[in-house]
A and B are shown apart, each in its own frame.
Chain A
């Protein structure tokens, strides 16, 4: 393939940008939406994997810059799949029973509009980092 003009180069860049998007975003994770999906045995058994794939695809489709990572068991095994959403500059919020529909609702209302959605699990512990 030959890149013949500057416009061509820009097109190639747009195509390949995806390849390193994951890495670029994780470099400035503090400035974008962060979603952590609990992916311990309990989470996976309740469908966390599907939830995670859905969130990745959906955010990508909507063009929302986000870092989506998996994490270990958050301890809310009764409410799996659970996800923790951190909007830039805000405190993390944990949601329980997140299937695809719930995930769509969270994206629609919380991530896009910043309005809290039902199903928040109050965080009842502090981590040692704090």
Chain B
């Protein structure tokens, strides 16, 4: 084997691939070939580095130099400067926004400082399409250990002792779930991996499958051994083509090595995994709906009990866990229960991956120890609010969760604290909002999502959410009354209490939590017919201040409906009957002459 002196890691996650990272890989390869360096320098496409804000990412090993926003055109310069002459290419280094200095390696980038990577341990480190690299990182050692040294009951106990809880949202203890399924007697049992990630703005599970598919495969096999199942199924949405592709390659390689199939590692244990595609319905993230969808039926939830652990896929005992939960399992076997439970908070052990999105400076994928505060996540890792604006709220848990405000910033993040604060962990979407976001509109946005995703089985969810949406619409149009606000609360609670599955039971959460935390904003819409954030079109008016207007005509030229008139170098005027309130003039004006009233 050739001994490479340098590795060039190029991010091959979906975000960076959208910015041509595949072409960057090719460009590096051909550039190195022309310079006859291809036997000294190896180019590797990896999984997501997490710092999507600054993608495409290129990391040079062993120097640990971290290049951001690399383009195909930069490849030649990197090879000439860094690879050949050995000096970092300054213009592509990360600039610390606070100190204005250049940072060469990840250890000194704030985004990475507070992160602890367990589930993402191999993302951005190994080539996900090469099983050897996974094995070199202790891959399949956990499976080997479980099969050769432990009984299924011992292995289950280990997962139980670790305190690992389901990362899909509910936070049910994983080991306990395995134990319950293991106790059932049946000729056939199933292990299901839930990769139906549906929250808006969430991409944790996708990134794990794209960056480290073998960790999920290995954990599913361990789970199979523990509960006595020989068959595994991954339920993944068809809109994740890259994740599916990498998973298929990984399954193929695992079978070739005999790490899936019959008599794994000479233990007599048989296990194999199939893929089932979902069409991307949010409700199919619910266990029973997911199982029905896999069976070829409509993706509708059914009443529990019977729980899937008793009667799941094809009526057989089935254990369903989420991708991130599985990704944690092999590490627990390798490093031990004590190590794992030393990380995190009292009742929530380990780490959680979040997809940080919205109005923060550093959008991306992060993994933090449980118990970290929202402030640390948003301001230290996320780099604060974009454009120096004021923080208003953060939405966790997707459409099922709630909005947390400034008063919650110092709450340690774990399953129980988030629920106590009126939100939930969810699968890990975290959307940050600033002063320009109208909370009534945000609640309406999430409701639109659940409205569309409701399967229609239960009346409260199907019709109740529709009514909630109508009331919200009325309020954002300035036609709401105080009774409407009360009605939102009452109806919301009825829907919560009377829906069958998690979707309906949580769908009013965005409304209820914004009512609790931003009641004044609702009142402003209803009483004063005003939208404090200036987002509700029916309640705002754009006006030009004649004293500040210089008559530059920029607004006049950009108005799409010709609502602005005025002579050059004279104050302009907006015709309110024509204005569609698109806000273009407001954004374009360089003299702050246009205000929202």
> A75 at the A/B interface (Cβ < 8 Å)?
no
- Determine the distance from Cα of A99 to Cα of B137 in the docked complex, in whole angstroms: 35
- Determine the distance from Cα of A19 to Cα of B131 in the docked complex, in whole angstroms: 12
Q: Which of B48-56, B176-184, B258-266, B351-359 contacts A (4 or more CB under 8 A)?
A: B258-266
Contacting pair A22 B257 (CB below 8 A): no
> B125 at the A/B interface (Cβ < 8 Å)?
yes
Q: Which of A5-13, A89-97, A106-114 contacts B (4 or more CB under 8 A)?
A: A5-13
> B568 at the A/B interface (Cβ < 8 Å)?
no
Identify the closest chain B residue to A71 (Cβ).
Answer: B86
Given contacts A12-B132, A12-B135, A20-B133, contact A4 B63 (CB under 8 A): no
Contacting pair B257 A39 (CB below 8 A): no
> A105 at the A/B interface (Cβ < 8 Å)?
no
> A123 at the A/B interface (Cβ < 8 Å)?
no
For residue A73, give the distance in angstroms from its CB to the closest CB of chain B.
8
CB contact list, B397-414 vs A, under 8 A: none
Could you mark each residue 292-325 of chain B with 1 if its beta carbon is under 8 Å from any beta carbon of chain A, else 0?
A: 0000000000000000000000000000000000
Identify the closest chain A residue to B145 (Cβ).
Answer: A6
> B256 at the A/B interface (Cβ < 8 Å)?
yes
- Determine the distance from Cα of A98 to Cα of B3 in the docked complex, in whole angstroms: 22
Could you mark each residue 1-39 of chain A with 1 if its beta carbon is under 8 Å from any beta carbon of chain B, else 0?
A: 111111011001100111110111111010000000111
> B144 at the A/B interface (Cβ < 8 Å)?
yes
- Determine the distance from Cα of A39 to Cα of B63 in the docked complex, in whole angstroms: 14
CB contact list, B1-35 vs A, under 8 A: 1, 3-7, 9
> B126 at the A/B interface (Cβ < 8 Å)?
yes
Contacting pair A26 B64 (CB below 8 A): yes
> B87 at the A/B interface (Cβ < 8 Å)?
yes
Listed residue (B4, B62, B125, B147) with the most chain A CB atoms within 10 angstroms of its CB: B62
Q: Count A-side interface residues using an 8 Å CB cutoff.
A: 37
> A56 at the A/B interface (Cβ < 8 Å)?
yes
> B85 at the A/B interface (Cβ < 8 Å)?
yes
Contacting pair B86 A17 (CB below 8 A): no
Contacting pair A52 B5 (CB below 8 A): yes
Identify the closest chain B residue to A41 (Cβ).
Answer: B85
- Determine the distance from Cα of A64 to Cα of B144 in the docked complex, in whole angstroms: 29
Report A-chain residues with C-beta under 8 Å of the C-beta of B258: 2-4
Cross-interface CB contact of B148 among A6, A23, A72, cutoff 8 Å: A6
- Determine the distance from Cα of A22 to Cα of B140 in the docked complex, in whole angstroms: 21
Identify the closest chain B residue to A52 (Cβ).
Answer: B5
Given contacts A4-B265, A9-B265, contact A56 B140 (CB under 8 A): no
Contacting pair A69 B136 (CB below 8 A): no
CB contact list, A56-71 vs B, under 8 A: 56-57, 60, 67-71
Contacting pair A20 B85 (CB below 8 A): no
Report A-chain residues with C-beta under 8 Å of the C-beta of B554: none
For residue B487, give the distance in angstroms from its CB to the closest CB of chain A.
57
Contacting pair B256 A29 (CB below 8 A): no
- Determine the distance from Cα of A13 to Cα of B257 in the docked complex, in whole angstroms: 12
- Determine the distance from Cα of A83 to Cα of B137 in the docked complex, in whole angstroms: 31
Could you mark each residue 123-160 of chain B with 1 if its beta carbon is under 8 Å from any beta carbon of chain A, else 0?
A: 00110000011011111110010011000000000000
> B597 at the A/B interface (Cβ < 8 Å)?
no
Contacting pair A20 B62 (CB below 8 A): no
Contacting pair A22 B62 (CB below 8 A): yes
Could you mark each residue 57-70 of chain B with 1 if its beta carbon is under 8 Å from any beta carbon of chain A, else 0?
A: 00001111000000
Cross-interface CB contact of B135 among A16, A29, A37, A53, cutoff 8 Å: A16
Report A-chain residues with C-beta under 8 Å of the C-beta of B125: 20, 23
- Determine the distance from Cα of A13 to Cα of B87 in the docked complex, in whole angstroms: 34
Contacting pair B137 A72 (CB below 8 A): no
Contacting pair B136 A40 (CB below 8 A): no
Report B-chain residues with C-beta under 8 Å of the C-beta of A26: 61-64
Contacting pair A19 B133 (CB below 8 A): yes
Contacting pair B144 A9 (CB below 8 A): yes
For residue A53, give the distance in angstroms from its CB to the closest CB of chain B.
8
For residue B264, give the distance in angstroms from its CB to the closest CB of chain A.
9
Contacting pair A25 B86 (CB below 8 A): no
- Determine the distance from Cα of A2 to Cα of B263 in the docked complex, in whole angstroms: 11
- Determine the distance from Cα of A68 to Cα of B63 in the docked complex, in whole angstroms: 8
Given contacts A22-B7, A68-B62, A72-B87, contact A4 B141 (CB under 8 A): no
- Determine the distance from Cα of A128 to Cα of B86 in the docked complex, in whole angstroms: 18
Contacting pair B135 A60 (CB below 8 A): no
Q: List 30 A-B contacts (CB under 8 A).
A: A1-B257, A3-B257, A3-B259, A6-B148, A8-B265, A9-B144, A12-B132, A13-B135, A13-B141, A16-B133, A16-B135, A18-B3, A18-B136, A19-B1, A20-B136, A20-B137, A22-B6, A23-B61, A26-B61, A26-B62, A27-B64, A52-B5, A53-B5, A56-B3, A56-B5, A57-B3, A60-B3, A69-B63, A72-B85, A72-B87
Binding site for A on B (CB under 8 A): 1, 3-7, 9, 61-64, 84-87, 125-126, 132-133, 135-141, 144, 147-148, 256-259, 265-266
Please give me the 3 A-B residue pairs with the lowest Cβ-Cβ distance, nearest first. Answer: A70-B86, A72-B87, A2-B258
Q: A18-B136, A23-B9, A23-B62 are in contact. List 9 more A-B contacts (CB 8 A).
A: A16-B136, A20-B125, A20-B133, A22-B5, A26-B62, A26-B64, A56-B3, A60-B3, A67-B62
